Structure 1
């Protein structure tokens, strides 16, 4: 009843929103963007801090890769439950707690002396925090607050993580050199903590809280407005149970498994390999760590451009074809990467980082769009499960690449294997099944999915 009254109130005040110069959705999106930037500090850290930690403590690559793998795994597995928690308790509270966990984990890292402690801080604490601030956070904002421009806004929010890495990466790399990696960790903590007050003050949970409809909605449509618009009015709803129920329904739809397979490979070839091992690999070839970090910063610049462009394209073209193209371009880049690494930055390496940057998370808008179109109101949580697969792939790749490096003394086989996986992802995406009527993907309510 409360949800119904809230929708009626929103409809009554919809006419008043015409007079507003700025729809509240834009403010929520802006705060969400800042939160993603603030949470992105750690995403830039492992590749930069691995070498200084190895030099100080003598830990092998496998140990630090394991810490990153735990982080990446929790980063993904937390996502669907975080989406359900946002429906249950609100975006604002969950986001604030997540940022606090990232800040605390980063600050506590300065006290580590044993390898198990880095597993606890980098792996467990920061993993849970970043998992709650994963791309499912952006998808929840978009699905709750927007009807128009969803692809574009999701592209912009997704680019927030890249922008955060772009802001943090050069500074972290410089601090890691002098005065040291501990100061770099404190910078990451500060980046997370400083955003919390903005989230608490300006973030709103749902349009009905401020008496408006989602941006672009003429009336409240259950197929367009996600469950998060009314779930807050049902305090007995169990977030974990809801996430598992959505997984049960989604697992009976072939499209879900195609997205899971493709996104697992996406995670393996971004966060798992390039994000974790590019700087150590470049260092193996004689390139200074700060120079390699600068190349990753260039990836971040073009990641912003590519992700926003992908959001725009997703609003206009078939998302599964976009996915196939993105994965194939990535595979070609990884295939030639072993030939490009050297002690100095050659023009061919610049071309690689530009193309790889454009492609980095360009897969997110079309993947989220397919989740929304096929699973309707459950789309955000389904995307959370798909993103979990992304991070499982990243965790496996981060560990295997470390093992390959320790066993062979180089990363070549890791790059070539990843290139082959990208070709597989392209084929899976291009041949993704349509709905049972053999028509283009369309919006479906959860009740329309197989029971």
Structure 2
């Protein structure tokens, strides 16, 4: 049972909402710099140094795979160095990464910058955010997660255009250094003042780890548990399809509606992701998260299916809006399902392991969609494959093996 039980989580005076603000800012800069900003780095580094696109994009893949490995050990790090220290390490690593991206002169520095970015993901990414909010909220957990993770989408909507505008006016180097300073000035005091566990929540119960041996035991237990896999696999499959569509969206739409309208479609999709998270957050705590997750996957499949059948600009934009409505929720559902079915003791271990698996699987999405498109000659078969993947994922997430199993069976043994 979390420490928030018995307090008024709806009150604006509840300290947990200040923790949500800190998590929002962490997600804003982590996703803004670490995910959405990578398209800016690709273009600017090629322009500044003449490096081939394969070098820059290859280091992006390296960073995502390294991140997927490091997040497995989030629970160990929380137990050993503590929440605030882990976040500050993540902030320091991300700041060093973004500053180095602006200052670098040699290709090897690119790998160092992206390795530091992976450390940033470990300290400021979804696993840490979900774990700390899980300890602060029970009745309003879904709303808290939705608000915090909206920082991720807002980072893409706000930070990327700002970086592009600043790069054009003052140069990429100055833009990255200036944005890094702003991040540290905004995030550092908020993290120091607001983040922490609830007063009567021990690190063992909040982080889900009482030491390295128990954490490893927890991960071993999760890997042999069917409930865990019926949550992780469908999320991974859905994210694979989602990443594939997002990366190829502009290439698909541009011949049909033009470059400007294709860019508008991306903006609409991102904006609808914010609306979707906020809308779901208002009532998700009263829903079965598996049913809501299956509904979101099905809605994405339906949006893609209609997208393939139409060439009308208004219909295509509407499909992108409908697809975007569920995009952000794919990272909101896992912590809700984990808390309900696995519990708090193994929460961080389950989030770290699940995020790692999903990250590795979804990383292949753009490549698989591109391969199918190359073999078939257009995007019809590629996006039809994404439709099938979403439907399969929706079916798997509804499967509830061992429904009567106690949560404690998935937790570390005493």
Structure 2 Cα separation of the partners of residues 76 and 193 of structure 1: 25
Q: Which residue among 166, 183, 197 is the counterpart of 2:157?
A: 166
- The aligned counterpart of 1:217 is none
TM-score scaled by structure 1? Answer: 0.76
Measured after TM superposition, the shift of residue 257 of structure 1 is 1.0
Structure 2 Cα separation of the partners of residues 15 and 368 of structure 1: 21
Structure 1 Cα separation of the partners of residues 403 and 41 of structure 2: 46
- The aligned counterpart of 1:444 is 407
- The aligned counterpart of 1:383 is 351
Distance verdict in 2 for CA 1:193–1:408, change over 3 Å: farther
Measured after TM superposition, the shift of residue 423 of structure 1 is 1.8
Distance verdict in 2 for CA 1:245–1:432, change over 3 Å: same
Measured after TM superposition, the shift of residue 375 of structure 1 is 1.6
Measured after TM superposition, the shift of residue 364 of structure 1 is 3.0
- The aligned counterpart of 2:244 is 273
Q: Is the Cα contact below 8 Å between 1:78 and 1:128 reproduced in 2?
A: yes
Query: Any stretches of 5+ residues in structure 2 without a counterpart?
Result: none
- The aligned counterpart of 1:107 is 99
Q: Is the Cα contact below 8 Å between 1:328 and 1:423 reproduced in 2?
A: yes
Counterparts of 1:180-329 in structure 2, within 5 Å, are 181-186=172-177, 188-208=179-199, 213=200, 227-228=205-206, 237-238=211-212, 241-270=213-242, 272-279=243-250, 287-288=258-259, 292=262, 294-329=264-299
Query: Any stretches of 5+ residues in structure 1 without a counterpart?
Result: 1-6, 215-221, 438-442
Kindly indicate whether residue 67 of structure 2 is the aligned counterpart of residue 96 of structure 1. Answer: no
Deviates more, 1:149-158 or 1:178-187: 178-187
- The aligned counterpart of 1:347 is 314
Deviation per CA, 1:100-145, whole angstroms, max 9, x where unpaired? 21121122123445655434423x2212212332211221122212
- The aligned counterpart of 1:3 is none
Measured after TM superposition, the shift of residue 156 of structure 1 is 1.4
* Residue aligned with 1:431, SS: coil
Q: Is the Cα contact below 8 Å between 1:252 and 1:450 reproduced in 2?
A: no
* Residue aligned with 1:205, SS: coil
Structure 2 Cα separation of the partners of residues 17 and 79 of structure 1: 32
Number of residue pairs matched? 410
- What is the CA RMSD across the aligned residues, in angstroms? 3.8
Kindly indicate whether residue 368 of structure 2 is the aligned counterpart of residue 368 of structure 1. Answer: no
Q: Is the Cα contact below 8 Å between 1:86 and 1:94 reproduced in 2?
A: yes
Deviates more, 1:22-31 or 1:167-176: 167-176
Structure 1 Cα separation of the partners of residues 230 and 303 of structure 2: 23
Structure 1 Cα separation of the partners of residues 168 and 250 of structure 2: 14
Measured after TM superposition, the shift of residue 175 of structure 1 is 4.0
Deviation per CA, 1:323-362, whole angstroms, max 9, x where unpaired? 1111122123334556778xxx932232133212210121
Structure 1 Cα separation of the partners of residues 354 and 207 of structure 2: 22
- The aligned counterpart of 1:440 is none
Kindly indicate whether residue 379 of structure 2 is the aligned counterpart of residue 428 of structure 1. Answer: no
Deviates more, 1:79-88 or 1:253-262: 79-88
Distance verdict in 2 for CA 1:135–1:21, change over 3 Å: closer
Deviates more, 1:137-146 or 1:346-355: 346-355
Deviates more, 1:247-256 or 1:132-141: 132-141
Q: Is the Cα contact below 8 Å between 2:122 and 2:128 reproduced in 1?
A: no
Structure 2 Cα separation of the partners of residues 187 and 46 of structure 1: 17
Structure 2 Cα separation of the partners of residues 102 and 150 of structure 1: 27
Q: Is the Cα contact below 8 Å between 1:331 and 1:420 reproduced in 2?
A: yes
Measured after TM superposition, the shift of residue 94 of structure 1 is 0.8
Structure 2 Cα separation of the partners of residues 113 and 412 of structure 1: 42
Q: Is the Cα contact below 8 Å between 1:39 and 1:133 reproduced in 2?
A: yes
Deviation per CA, 1:149-207, whole angstroms, max 9, x where unpaired? 11221121122211222221322343455555545544553454233422443134212
